[in-house]
Structure 1
Amino acid sequence: MSGRREKRRGPTLLRGDQVDLTTTDQRLLDSRGPTDWVHTDPWRVLRIQSEFVEGFGALAELGPAIGVFGSARTAVDDPAYAQGVEVGRRLVEAGFAVITGGGPGAMEAANRGASEAGGVSVGLGIELPFESGLNPWVDVGVNFRYFFARKTMFVKYARGFVVLPGGVGTLDELFEAVTLVQTQKVTSFPIVLLGVDYWSGLLDWLRTTVLPDGKISPADLDLLALTDDVEEAVALVAAGTVRP
């Protein structure tokens, strides 16, 4: 029946009155309430383990892939949506699978471009209070309860990231990737911001406020490339480098 509420909890689909207002992550991280966590948390380890096993099993033979981040709120008639479709298509033409968060908006656009180009279109979904599930352009989809398990899959199986305009979630993914490269927790890989007008203010703030205050080094800024050109963005991630 159309119009019913729907959300995913890992591999489980909930609709209507079965949709709850909390997430598995929230319950794991919430330290308030009764002390029954002493008895339940050890069992959660098995569920967490299962998410890693499921993700590794689904993606182990994926081959070269690039992660594409961007807002779930990007409308279909937004120029950023068309740009996302082009990113997905060109990445496939360059020999890559495309990995997104599997949601609507910019994520759907990149998945659509990859699928229409005949490539492998991957979506890594996450349980949210109200979630419509994976977009219809995902060919290989894995739904996660825990953000940290999902993020591990992005970092492990992507050789670089293209970042379309986005909000809090996109910024979280962007800065986590930069942090992992900066701290050498992962092998250095390119991170390309697509959208000069959108991202310039952020880069200017890093360059004129954060850098002079000694909170980052000049080399940290070199971890990010900025362009409006999809072809250039794909070339940068394909080459495994970013320009200074």
Structure 2
Amino acid sequence: MEIETLEEFDDHLASDGPLRGLRLQDLDLTGYADRLAARGDLTGLVVLGGKVPLPVAEVLLRGGAIQFPGVADAPVDPWRGLYLPSDLYAGLQDGYAATPDAEAYAWFIDARLRTDAYCTLVRAIHDDSVTDDLDEFVQGRSVVGIMGGHALQRNSRSYAGAAGLGHSLAEEGYLVATGGGPGAMEAANLGALCRSAAAVEEAVARIAPVPSFRPDVTAWAAGALAARTAVVGDEPDAPIDTLGPTARSLGIPTWFYGHEPPNVFCDVIAKYFSNAIREEGLLARSNAGIVVLDGAAGTVQEIFQAVTPLFYAVDDAPLPPLILVGREHWTERVPVWAAVTAMAAGRPMEEAIHLVDTIDDVLPLLPALTA
């Protein structure tokens, strides 16, 4: 049983329930030494990170608990889980290189640390914490994944179209999930975040003067943060654990592609060090379907990762649709459609794959939401 707030822990202590099997995650246990000592045997209690003063640590050790201490000398808190855009872009006024996002990428690619056992453990704990929070965040939601290239320019018609698609899906009640990066991913997240078509149009126009994150991530992100404030206001961010049922926009990026900065138009960001875990997590959580816009190598990889579970599906349950948008792109410029249809022939996935001309053809192919 995971306990992630002091309120939960207090309730459990008051109920006199057993401590064996509890996982206390990232809690401030200041002042809990006497209450824990009174319980005697603490075998099987696991304390993950958080603030553990010396008197509490001594009680845990004597009682037989297992304590994983907080991590020093790393630019991330491995126990924290999901991020808000403001978390990753704190300090942007001093340039992108000063932000936690950039610092985490620099730490990740440091050749001296890539195979360091301590750093590997930190990254693994971090990504597991993200997955844990992400599972809770999307629980009960119908998620549509939108895939597409990072190079799409903000001042293009295709960008505006992707933003319109994200908005339409969110208005229908879907949670829109993307790879969380620039380009088509940013556009879909932006559209989903906006509460009206007029707000989408205004936000796109606001950020269009800086069409790409190259060569200046600072200007690209600063303009986007200003546009985000215009959309959602400048009130303090709501706690992440309250957002799940009402969230419209989710980004799942990776520091593996750290040269592509995360976009800020997500309600929350699940950022990973492991791209393999991130890719699988994004696709597996797109339980209402996957929409693929124009893209290149990374997008092609996502298509075939999405095809694999469809290919091996054997039961009679309806499969989530895989929708490729842009007939010319996917049959001529990047001709993967022929391979997809060849694998689907005679299998249940044949009914789940679709090639359409425009984003206007997407919504009718998605499963209807229940009230």
TM-score norm. by structure 2 comes to: 0.51
State the 1:82 CA deviation. 1.6
The percent of aligned pairs where both chains have the same amino acid is 25
Moved more, 69-78 or 122-131: 122-131
State the 1:167 CA deviation. 1.3
Which blocks of at least 5 consecutive residues in structure 1 are unaligned? 29-35
Read off the aligned partner of 1:88 and give its amino acid letter.
G
Contact 2:254 2:273 in 1 (8 A): yes
Is 2:246 the partner of 1:117? no
Instruction: Tell me the residue number matched to 1:14.
Output: 102
Distance 1:42 1:13 in 2: 19
State the 1:225 CA deviation. 0.8
1 or 2 for the larger relative contact order (CA 8 Å, sep ≥6)? 1
Instruction: Tell me the residue number matched to 2:184.
Output: 106
Instruction: Tell me the residue number matched to 1:166.
Output: 295
Distance 1:94 1:23 in 2: 44
Instruction: Tell me the residue number matched to 1:33.
Output: none
Distance 1:49 1:82 in 2: 35
Instruction: Tell me the residue number matched to 1:227.
Output: 356
Distance 1:191 1:54 in 2: 26
CA displacement, residues 58-103 of structure 1 (integer Å, 9 cap, x when unaligned) = 3335x11200000111011233212201211111232211001111
TM-score norm. by structure 1 comes to: 0.74
State the 1:53 CA deviation. 1.4
Which blocks of at least 5 consecutive residues in structure 2 are unaligned? 1-92, 197-246
Q: Which of 30, 43, 57 is matched with 2:136 structurally?
A: 57
Distance 1:228 1:239, change over 3 A: farther
Secondary structure of the corresponding residue to residue 132 of structure 2: helix
Instruction: Tell me the residue number matched to 1:238.
Output: 367
Is 2:214 the partner of 1:126? no
CA displacement, residues 166-206 of structure 1 (integer Å, 9 cap, x when unaligned) = 11111111110011111129962101011111112214642
Contact 1:22 1:129 in 2 (8 A): no
Contact 1:191 1:224 in 2 (8 A): yes
Larger radius of gyration: 2
Distance 2:257 2:98 in 1: 9
Read off the aligned partner of 1:19 and give its amino acid letter.
A
Secondary structure of the corresponding residue to residue 362 of structure 2: helix
Distance 1:238 1:127, change over 3 A: same
Read off the aligned partner of 2:131 and give its amino acid letter.
F
Distance 2:270 2:173 in 1: 22
CA displacement, residues 131-183 of structure 1 (integer Å, 9 cap, x when unaligned) = 45431211121111112322343234322001000111111111100111111
Read off the aligned partner of 1:199 and give its amino acid letter.
W
Secondary structure of the corresponding residue to residue 144 of structure 1: coil
Secondary structure of the corresponding residue to residue 98 of structure 1: strand
Contact 2:272 2:278 in 1 (8 A): yes
Distance 1:93 1:49, change over 3 A: closer
Distance 2:94 2:119 in 1: 36
- Which structure has greater strand proportion? 1
Distance 1:204 1:228, change over 3 A: closer
Secondary structure of the corresponding residue to residue 226 of structure 1: strand
Distance 2:344 2:360 in 1: 29
State the 1:125 CA deviation. 1.6
Moved more, 160-169 or 138-147: 138-147
Distance 1:129 1:152, change over 3 A: closer
Instruction: Tell me the residue number matched to 2:305.
Output: 176
Instruction: Tell me the residue number matched to 2:218.
Output: none
Distance 1:56 1:42 in 2: 21
Is 2:314 the partner of 1:200? no
Distance 1:45 1:103, change over 3 A: closer
